[in-house]
A = this chain, B = another copy of it.
Amino acid sequence: MVHAVTLAHQAFIEAQAHASSGASRGSVTDLAALLDAICAEMSSQREAIVSIAHQESTLPIEPRLQGEFDRTINQLKHFAEAIREGSWVQATIDHALPDRKPVPRPDLRSMLVPIGPVGVFDAGNFPLAFGAAGNDVASALAAGNPVIVKSHPNHPRTNVLVGECIARALQSAGVSPHWYTVLPDTSPDTSEQLVMHPSIAAIGFTGSRHIGRKLIDLAATRATPIPVFAEMGSLNPLVILSGALEESWQAIASDLSKSILLGHGQFCTRPGVVLIPKDHPNARRFIDTLASTLAAGKPQSMLSDATCHSYQKAADALIARNDLTIHVRPTFPGARGSSALLAETTAGAFLREGDEILRDEIFGPACLVVTFDSLDEAIDVLQAVSGTLTVSLHAGSADMPNVARLLPVAQGLAGRVVFGGYPTGVEVTHAMVHGGPYPAGHPGGVTSIGSAAIARFSRPVCVQNCPSQLLPLALQDSNPLHILRKIDGRWRTIEDKPQRA
């Protein structure tokens, strides 16, 4: 392991030296071409990859794993497009002011540059889209960094196969074979060595709060602390206001149950807490319908024995309480089988101090309905929830003043606020934010999905009075990459692009 990181670091140093001496210094074509080559190699192995991911995860091939494969390719293409578009490097030029008094101002130019080898802990619940060629890997590669993957034990063989595709892609793109490694070992010792290796510049992690915090704390003990970009647990509260319960309780109960059961509840964006007005005439109907829909869901195999065991343990803890009503009691047939859980409690019970169990994420097809007496109480419940990936707000036509009150609360808590929808189904777009305040995201100011994820694995460097022949392409006066730049405080796009013939 240590050796793989050392080799990756050497390859990085050599690539930096080459980029600054070559004719096309800082060319981005190579990086985009590498991501394209990964897409091509993976697509040629599509059947084998999907098949082994199915064997390891037991997730259905259709539509889940075929869809996840497509999404993985789309993510890689999205990042390749962002590299070619080029604005992510934040190229900024302040020209010299030779006549300024009392002293001239030098020429200053800055851009984002790669940071070095990135360690990625892939997610146990997405063998492909957050796996060995998933979002963290793709964005770290897109920024120009080597990547070392520590496989989740749920799908090591899938990762090896994807890693072989990437190895061929490196070769065809003319990149060092040490630029990317899937570590053969999935033990906690390997995790620790990866985080502590002095040549590792950053970590990407998707998984549980427990493990994520361990890695964050470990990285903080390094002589040189490094960032751990972690996406951890999330409650994804969904608030249904009176008007929505009035106008569309049936549709919400139906769509919400689908969102809870999607991927058998093993999604980081699964709605875990649903807030409804206690005394609304439709409240009982809504709960009964949600309960019957969830109860009708067949038991499914979970991702691993460990996941199934944790879900059962969390469910047992809820069932044992006397301040909850259990509407749907889960069953646990077979080795990894489980079914849905629906519980109900009051805002008062949820807010009880020192009682964190109701506010912890349950990973699986579980949902807790929390009934509130007033909007103030609903706000209190939201504010008692830790940072979350999403908050969803369902409102009827008369609810708009209440939505206006909830919006700043939701925004303070979440990376994404969904209006009239459900949090599962994360789009890969420029505006997506998949992150949020701790523990949903860490550090809070980042997203792990969408083109903005690239900048996590970079840092700004400024060159002062740099000779023109040493400037990277992104900072050369003629703007050979045709990218958006901030020049003397003004954004330049069209005006400094050469006219196309």
Contacts and interface: CB of A to CB of B under 8 A. Distances in A.
A431 B109 contact: yes
B427 A467 contact: no
Contact of A417 (B201, B403, B439, B466): B466
Interface residues of A, number: 85
A443 B227 contact: yes
Given A404-B21, A404-B470, A429-B108, A16 B461 contact: no
Contact of A467 (B16, B419, B452): B419
Contacts of A224: 386-387, 437-439
Contacts of A404: 20-21, 470
Nearest to A110: B431
B94 A431 contact: yes
Contacts of A418: 106, 464-465
Contacts of A110: 431-433, 452
A486 to B, nearest CB: 6
A150 to B, nearest CB: 21
Interface stretch (A38-46, A125-133, A488-496): A488-496
Contacts of A403: 467, 470
A214 interface: no
B489 A491 contact: no
Contacts of A346: none
A68 to B, nearest CB: 14
Interface stretch (A240-248, A304-312, A408-416): A408-416
The 6 nearest A-B residue pairs measured at CB: A433-B462, A220-B220, A16-B408, A108-B431, A445-B459, A94-B429
Contacts of A109: 431
Contacts of A405: 17, 21
A19 B407 CA distance: 10
Contact of A461 (B87, B416, B442): B416
A382 to B, nearest CB: 12
Given A13-B408, A19-B408, 8 more contacts: A13-B412, A21-B404, A85-B489, A92-B430, A94-B427, A110-B432, A110-B452, A227-B445
| Chain multiplicity (copies) | 2
Given A224-B438, A459-B445, A464 B108 contact: no
A16 B412 contact: yes
B466 A427 contact: no
A281 to B, nearest CB: 25
B408 A462 contact: no
Nearest to A484: B491
A465 B408 contact: no
B17 A432 contact: no
A10 B263 CA distance: 40
Nearest to A383: B13
Given A110-B432, A463-B417, A470-B404, A444 B491 contact: no
Contact of A462 (B21, B94, B386, B416): B416
A431 B92 contact: yes
B444 A115 contact: yes
Given A445-B458, A465-B420, A491-B491, A408 B17 contact: yes
A87 B412 contact: no
A188 interface: no
Nearest to A17: B408
Given A20-B404, A106-B427, A438-B225, A461 B411 contact: yes
B460 A87 contact: no
A237 interface: no
Given A429-B94, A430-B94, A417 B464 contact: yes
A197 interface: no
Contacts of A463: 416-417, 419
Contacts of A415: 459-462
